[in-house]
Structure 1
Amino acid sequence: MFQDTSSLAAMAEALSQSPDYRVLRRLMARLPFTPSSDQETKTAVILDTETTGLDAQRNEIIELGMVKFDYTPNGNIVGVRDTFSAFNEPIDPIPADITDLTGISDELVAGHRIDAVAVEKFVDDAVLIIAHHSQFDRGFAERYWPVFAQKAWACSATEIEWRKYGFEGAKLGYLLHGAGYFHQAHRAVDDCNALLEILAFELPTIGRPARPAAGERAEENGSRVGGAIAVRAQKSPQNPRLSMERRQRRKTQELVRRRLRSRPRRRNRVSENGDLPARRRAANAEADRFHAVLGKGLRTGCDTSRSNRSAVRSAAAEINARR
């Protein structure tokens, strides 16, 4: 009897109607659709990466997955345009714990490279890049493909108030189970398809999907895109060069604060008065002096390689010599 898929579907449907059971269905990727010319839509891309570690400047991407979809001005998902999935062979061997987590081995990615031209072409018409915990994926994506620095980004994990809509957390697998599905986690394109269904899921508390349900906050900020994830997109920098310079300065400030905390206590008039804003201004001023010595600042804004640490120590010695 279990070979009859129609019988299984009927049983699952019957169980789902009972308050005593919950049914999870295997997530199936949506088939691409043909956009209609008479419907106003915008295009977004859901992106996910699998990597050899958490450091966006030192670790490497081993898999990139993307799903391109169209949505209406009020945030309703219309359909999937295309999908992208590719492996990348890293320079260093994939750590054993990463293979255990993702199932991606050195043998699986051997000889594979992600085509940069294909990536740029895929995201060219997208007005928004969405990732679950975008702070992680964005760092890797912008390092590998500069086109992502020119795109607006949004985070589906932090910019939608999932607890407000009856979920106890924002973990991807947990949200997907709430939508009634299960999937192969920690594989890039599968996670993208999972996030698409989560964003299309009709929230039981209000009877509509996550994007338009959270869109009230976006509308208050003048957004016509719809959805809470559009809020951050409206604030994304228009000048990627300026954005990089700001990140460089923030990273230099962070290195200065670490240096100030690690060196022997040497109080001055600013620190003695206990004025925290003043101390921060003093630390930022020292960071500016670092930039003056280092020229253009840190090479990538997040590089903590040995050569950069050496440059910082040299700069610190020169600053101390000037005092």
Structure 2
Amino acid sequence: MNNDATQESRPVFPTLGDGPNSAPPPSRSADAAAPAIRPNNIYAPEKRRESLESRIPRGPVLCHTGKRTALSLENRCFSKRPISRPWPRHSADRRTIGCCAAWSRAYRCPGQRGQETRTGILLDTETTGLDHRKDEIIELGMVKFDYTAEGRIVGVRDTFAAFNEPSAPIPPEITAITGITDEMVAGQRIDDAAVSAFVDDAVITIAHNSGFDRKFAERYWPVFEQKAWGCSATEIDWHEHGFAGAQLGYLLNGTGFFHQAHRAVDDCHALLEVLDFVLPTTGAPALALLLKTARRPTLRVWAEQTAFELKDSLKRRGYRWNDGSDGRPKSWFIDVNESGLDDEIAFLRAEIYMREVEPSVQRLTTFTRFSRRA
């Protein structure tokens, strides 16, 4: 929390609207041959229907060992049908997201030449438990992608997936959820320098539960403390846009995908498809709405020293409990937009304290929101 003043003085997303993070792709004559389909090449003709083998990236990818190596055809998974734009969005055209980091939209996303793009990171962790202070990361997955100022994803640059051996055996319940065993992580370590290099040019990191993933990521790699963060689970009201819920499985079902894995980098690829989905309610990709929400400051209102019997009223209002073990107040709290602050204070005065009070209010930006420092 001590860093709020420092962070608030800097512009939110300094490069999201001010300039590109990568040079525009080189121009190519109309009669030139289409380049080979590779992970770092985002050219893909609209009507192209290449065979499965022709869509396999020939270059190396960052695999689970943390070393760059080529993957064979047998180890790659793809969608059930050839991919071209536009895709039908009805139930008969469901597509399956495969269980390999090499499956990437990079070889099917046409971008407009000369268009300014920014770079983002999709991140997911698998851990030995829920406590970021004592539990450990056992897998890190990331997808680096380019997007336009309008929130349209134009390509994937690279993927990162690596295991980490924890200091104690993986709990059986974690293996049951993730499929990660002690044998899979034995002797594995995540290269800190490789992580820092991978995320260095990104202007935002997005996770589907940033309140969980950011705290773990910051503990292991301080580079994430300096990044803007967005949360695709909480910074889009998915119910408002016709989805059954905010869980990744619900979102994939609503966008026409099946998901067959619970592994870090596969969840990142799944999230990429969700954020690229054009919401019927807005006519824009979900990523555009997420970026718009993430840019806005929020205010955390602390309802301290409230009567125990009022806890149900606070919970119904959306307040969450903090037990004080992390150095923050032992208190109920809620995050609201700036426009909702007066209503929240009025609620506390009328329904909780029954008197005039000035509750503690903390301002959060995309640089501090979801952080263990907030």
Which TM-score bucket, shorter chain as reference?
Answer: 0.5 to 0.7
Secondary structure at 1:252 match in 2: coil
Taking a change above 3 Å as real, the CA distance of residues 250 and 17 of structure 1, as seen in their structure-2 partners, is closer
Taking a change above 3 Å as real, the CA distance of residues 111 and 122 of structure 1, as seen in their structure-2 partners, is same
Secondary structure at 2:196 match in 1: helix
Taking a change above 3 Å as real, the CA distance of residues 170 and 301 of structure 1, as seen in their structure-2 partners, is closer
Contact preservation (8 Å) 1:251, 1:301:
no
Q: Where in structure 1 are there 5+ consecutive unaligned residues?
A: 11-15, 216-225, 236-246, 259-273, 282-299, 303-323
Secondary structure at 2:211 match in 1: helix
In 1: Cα distance, 2:89 partner to 2:197 partner: 44
1:185 is aligned to 261
Counterpart mapping for 1:75-86 below 5 A = 75-86=151-162
What is the letter of the counterpart of residue 181 of structure 1?
Answer: F
Secondary structure at 1:69 match in 2: strand
- Encode CA deviations 1:236-267: one digit per residue, 9 max, x unaligned: xxxxxxxxxxx9x9933435x69xxxxxxxxx
- Alignment equivalent of 1:252, drawn from 318, 327, 331: 327
- Alignment equivalent of 1:195, drawn from 271, 293, 297: 271
Secondary structure at 1:251 match in 2: coil
- Alignment equivalent of 2:250, drawn from 174, 180, 195: 174
Instruction: Confirm whether residue 151 of structure 1 aligns to residue 227 of structure 2.
Output: yes
1:36 Cα deviation after fit: 7.7
In 2: Cα distance, 1:194 partner to 1:277 partner: 48
Contact preservation (8 Å) 2:89, 2:255:
no
In 1: Cα distance, 2:239 partner to 2:153 partner: 22
1:231 is aligned to 296
Taking a change above 3 Å as real, the CA distance of residues 17 and 176 of structure 1, as seen in their structure-2 partners, is closer
In 2: Cα distance, 1:209 partner to 1:227 partner: 11
Taking a change above 3 Å as real, the CA distance of residues 204 and 251 of structure 1, as seen in their structure-2 partners, is same
Contact preservation (8 Å) 1:71, 1:79:
yes
Taking a change above 3 Å as real, the CA distance of residues 22 and 153 of structure 1, as seen in their structure-2 partners, is same
1:38 Cα deviation after fit: 2.0
1:110 is aligned to 186
1:40 Cα deviation after fit: 0.5
In 2: Cα distance, 1:161 partner to 1:169 partner: 9
Percent identity of paired positions between Structure 1 and Structure 2: 55
Counterpart mapping for 1:292-311 below 5 A = none
Q: Please tell me whether Structure 1 or Structure 2 has the larger radius of gyration of its CA atoms.
A: 1
Contact preservation (8 Å) 1:173, 1:185:
no
Instruction: Confirm whether residue 42 of structure 1 aligns to residue 112 of structure 2.
Output: no
In 1: Cα distance, 2:153 partner to 2:214 partner: 23
Taking a change above 3 Å as real, the CA distance of residues 67 and 158 of structure 1, as seen in their structure-2 partners, is same
1:133 Cα deviation after fit: 1.2
Taking a change above 3 Å as real, the CA distance of residues 301 and 161 of structure 1, as seen in their structure-2 partners, is closer
TM-score by length of 2: 0.55
The structure with the largest strand share of the pair is 2
Q: Which deviates further from its counterpart, 139-148 or 194-203?
A: 194-203
1:205 Cα deviation after fit: 3.8
- Alignment equivalent of 1:30, drawn from 91, 98, 104: 104
In 2: Cα distance, 1:277 partner to 1:85 partner: 53
Contact preservation (8 Å) 1:65, 1:85:
yes
- Alignment equivalent of 1:124, drawn from 196, 200, 207: 200
Contact preservation (8 Å) 1:64, 1:86:
yes
Contact preservation (8 Å) 2:120, 2:205:
yes
Contact preservation (8 Å) 2:123, 2:268:
yes
Q: Which deviates further from its counterpart, 114-123 or 177-186?
A: 177-186
What is the letter of the counterpart of residue 251 of structure 1?
Answer: D
In 1: Cα distance, 2:266 partner to 2:89 partner: 28
Taking a change above 3 Å as real, the CA distance of residues 88 and 250 of structure 1, as seen in their structure-2 partners, is closer
Contact preservation (8 Å) 2:89, 2:256:
no
Higher relative contact order (CA 8 A, sep 6+): 2
Paired residues in the alignment total: 232
Cα RMSD (Å) of the superposition? 3.5
1:27 Cα deviation after fit: 1.6
Taking a change above 3 Å as real, the CA distance of residues 301 and 202 of structure 1, as seen in their structure-2 partners, is closer
The structure with the largest helix share of the pair is 1
Contact preservation (8 Å) 2:81, 2:95:
no
Contact preservation (8 Å) 1:156, 1:229:
no
Secondary structure at 2:216 match in 1: helix
Taking a change above 3 Å as real, the CA distance of residues 66 and 276 of structure 1, as seen in their structure-2 partners, is farther
What is the letter of the counterpart of residue 30 of structure 1?
Answer: S
Contact preservation (8 Å) 1:185, 1:191:
yes
2:137 is aligned to 61
2:287 is aligned to 211
